[in-house]
Structure 1
Amino acid sequence: MPTGIAIRDVREQLFDAAERILLRDGPNALTSRAVTTEAGCAKGVLHRHFADFDAFLADFVLDRIHRMDPQAAALRESAGTGTVAGNLTDALIALFGSVAVAIVPLVTFRDELRDRLRETWPAGVPVLTDACVMIASYLTAEQELGRIAADAEVDMLAPMLIGAAHLLFADRKGPPPEAETVHKTVTSVIGGVAREA
């Protein structure tokens, strides 16, 4: 890109480029050069806006996590409607159909990124821990409505659902699992505590 031409929303442009690379080519392909080439800008643009590449990646991961907030709110608001298994199935498909599944290996692949994220995110893999909070919040709402057993341990069910779904979606190269497969997994996990008619 010629010098002197302003790039609008440069952070978002760089984050979108990083997401495309991550989804298309995986975490190994994610370099500052690849990001700026994909974004169509000079390499120096990234370094003018971020201290280093790991700072960029940390902000990218946190930005994508915050994009889950509307999904979390929608899931919680769905409590009492449809079926618990159906709502969870839809939420897990949306979660793992997004960049979330690709962020997990990125975070585990880069020690420097994990260290940087620890400054603001104390434990766990950010996308997965946020997803667990989202699922636990929903299950708690359903528990309050009597559609999940009162003695169900929602803080244990949430990571079980996230872990099981992550295993279904972990193969980036193959096709995503069918909705029926995800639904069957969900019903297996919550079958003992679901109280729907």
Structure 2
Amino acid sequence: MPTGVALRDAREQLFAAAERVLLRDGPNGLTSRSVTAEAGVAKGVLHRHFPDFDAFLAELVLDRIGRLDELALREAAGTGSVTDNLTAALTDVFGPVAVAIVGLVTFRDGLRARLRQAGLPGIPLLAQAAALIAAYLAAERDLGRIAADADPDTIALTLIGSAHLLFAGRDDPPPADEIRRIVAAVVTPAG
């Protein structure tokens, strides 16, 4: 990109490029050079906006965690079926980019360290998704739509772990029926 030409939302442009590289080439192929080449910008653009590559990657992960709020799962409490709501949420959580980001976090020690410094325990993205699902399950329990003795935190961790196993390492997402079957086996309806 020529000097002096302003980029529109360079941060988002770099994040989108990083996601494309990550999906195409995996964690090994994700470098500052591959990201800037994919974005069509000079390498200095990334370093102008972020102190180093791990800082860039940490911001990418934090941005994607922030997008979990778009699921609005908590607001779905009391509507539709619990199984369908959770099946849809798990499908959204484990989109191809999220699965690739989980792999990236486990692959890069420096990134994990940055995310821990930011106060993110466990495997970032998965831990936040589990908290979101646990809050939804607690709301459904309070509404009497799942068993009164249900443990939302344990159920959420079970669903996240099971869904991750279903989604990881696949070219295409698993059929919704597979996800629905697991949700139905783990979540006990009220009654």
1:27-176 correspondence runs (5 A): 27-71=27-71, 74-172=72-170, 174-176=171-173
1:182 maps to 179
TM-score when scaled to structure 2? 0.96
Give ranges in structure 2 of 5+ residues lacking alignment: none
| TM-superposed deviation, 1:9 | 0.6
Give ranges in structure 1 of 5+ residues lacking alignment: none
CA RMSD in angstroms comes to 1.2
Q: Note the alpha carbon deviations across 1:107-165, whole angstroms, 9 max, x for none.
A: 01000111111111241011001000110010011001101111111110001000000
Aligned residues: 191
Whole-angstrom distance in 2 between the partners of 1:180 and 1:25: 30
| Contact 2:14/2:36 (8 A) holds in 1 | yes
Q: Note the alpha carbon deviations across 1:72-102, whole angstroms, 9 max, x for none.
A: xx21111111111111001001111252111
User: Which amino acid is 1:54 matched to?
Assistant: D
Partner-residue secondary structure (3-state), 1:81: coil
TM-score when scaled to structure 1? 0.93
